Chain A
Amino acid sequence: MNDRLIYLDNAATTFPKPPGVLDRMVETYGRLGASPGRGGYDLAMEAEELVAQTRMKLARFFGATDPERVVFASNATDALNLAIQGIVGPGDHVVSTRLEHNSVLRPLYHLKERGWIDYDLVPFDGQGFIDPDDVVRAFRPNTRLAVVSHASNVLGTVQPVPEIARLCAERNVPLVIDVAQSAGHVTIDMAAWRVSAVAFTGHKGLMGPTGIGGLVCSPELNVSSTRFGGTGVESRSPIHTQTFPHRLEAGTLNLLGIIGLSAGIDYLQIEGVDRLHQREMTLFRRLREGLASLPRIVVYGSTPGDSHVPLLVCNVEGFNPSDVGAILDGDYQILVRTGLHCAPLVHADLGTDPRGAIRFSLASFNTDEDIERTLEAMADLSGKG
């Protein structure tokens, strides 16, 4: 990456990737790039073993009990579609939250528009947190699913998932969590929390490439197939394979992405998720405090405590947020995401709709200098510099 660039859009995708991830992708794919699970020759079987090892690695990483229930998908949106459309049926009710990304809002809206389901969205409080009791209060007799974003991609707040999961489990309502913004930043323990499924993407906190993600399911969760095709097994049957993970996978897997995801997980385990998170949160607190101290800058959401990932949104009075993004990019080489962040209801509730806000999102590769240069730029913009 250009040394002068300051990349603060890690909630969109982490960049750069850790040393070794791209190297391992090129080296391993160059050596083992056969079709996994589709042939009897050694190379294809080695590729399949690599996929199986990655399923095991992910199961351990998310605290899941059965690696066969690690299903690969393209990204978290794809995985959430697999979960939502595979769990609910006509007449069902779903509970979710106003913190959600369009990856949840749009599938739910689509199903509601078709007349199949109804849903309720639980509000968040002034600090950006969901009250677990609100989730279960929204339940109806026909509630079949709860979907909750683990960490907001706008406010950065980490939701009390263990408590929400406990309440859902007591009522036999499956809970699917979207960990797109939390995985790789905070430890996730599906089994201990009694979460039914985790939808993840590989290219954010997990430090892999784009195009790979997945759904990790608990053994008790029943998810129907919503895509059909080749699985490499039971080829004579016209019925899509019903055993996991094939039940939810169709077509040749993204082996290159799986190799990169595996390397990203290895990096996190060597470095330690908690240690990396502490480092990025130290930088994040400095950024937040600095921004909040500047005139004409409004920072939204809570002061980061323990339940936070390193991202925030703010606005500069008198500026369109998209222009702030253009100025930061063009004049300061600072890269941020502006707008609604695919989470329109959060911005509606913050009062930042329709223009949205400026999002700064950090990763462990950011430096003290990145933060100081960003604060200097924002001080210039706010009129103080």
Chain B
Amino acid sequence: MTEPAETAGPSGDPDRQHWLIGGRRVYFDIDRFLWDSQDWSEELAEIMAREGGLGQLSETHWKVLRFIREFYLSNGRAPRNRPLKESTGLSMREIEELFPEGIKLGARRIAGLPASIKRICD
């Protein structure tokens, strides 16, 4: 990921910043969750993963990320714990260990779930 261009986006929201990626502005919140989930791509996920302390994403990472992503696109929310576990065949502990930033701030972030989802249930 390239360097942040400024600390606040056009809305002036202090929680919003943009990064220049491939010459295009992509907006994130303070925890580096995408502001607009539509900006997500697998290429961006790889960049976000590296920036979050992960190396190359493995097939196991992608199994988790694709399930979270597809679930979000179908349901408008993050998957619950049990469907995530059953669909990936991994325990929650194993999923947590796959991502240095954990499940809710790591896997969900790299899967491109938006900042608005992150704010629920704090």
Contacts and interface: CB of A to CB of B under 8 A. Distances in A.
Give the interface SS of chain B, mostly helix, strand, loop or mixed.
helix
A66 interface: no
Contact of B104 (A322, A329, A381): A322
Sorting the interface of chain B by its residue count into under 10, 10 to 19, 20 to 34 or 35 or more gives 10 to 19
Interface string B80-100: 011011000001110010000
B45 interface: no
A102 to B, nearest CB: 12
A327 interface: yes
Contacts of B121: 322, 339
A170 interface: no
A331 interface: yes
A319 B106 CA distance: 12
Interface string A156-176: 000000000000000000000
Contact of A327 (B82, B93, B105): B93
B96 A323 contact: yes
B81 A326 contact: yes
Nearest to B99: A323
Interface string A342-362: 000000000000101000000
A319 B92 CA distance: 12
B81 A329 contact: yes
A320 interface: yes
B122 interface: yes
A319 B97 CA distance: 10
Interface in A210-242: none
B104 A320 contact: yes
B72 to A, nearest CB: 16
A19 interface: no
Interface string A45-58: 00000000000000
Contacts of A381: 93
A340 interface: yes
Contacts of B101: 320
A209 B99 CA distance: 39
Contacts of B105: 320, 322-323
A40 interface: no
Interface of A: 319-320, 322-323, 326-327, 329-331, 339-340, 354, 356, 380-381
11 contacts: A319-B102, A320-B105, A322-B104, A322-B105, A323-B103, A323-B105, A326-B103, A330-B85, A331-B92, A339-B121, A381-B93
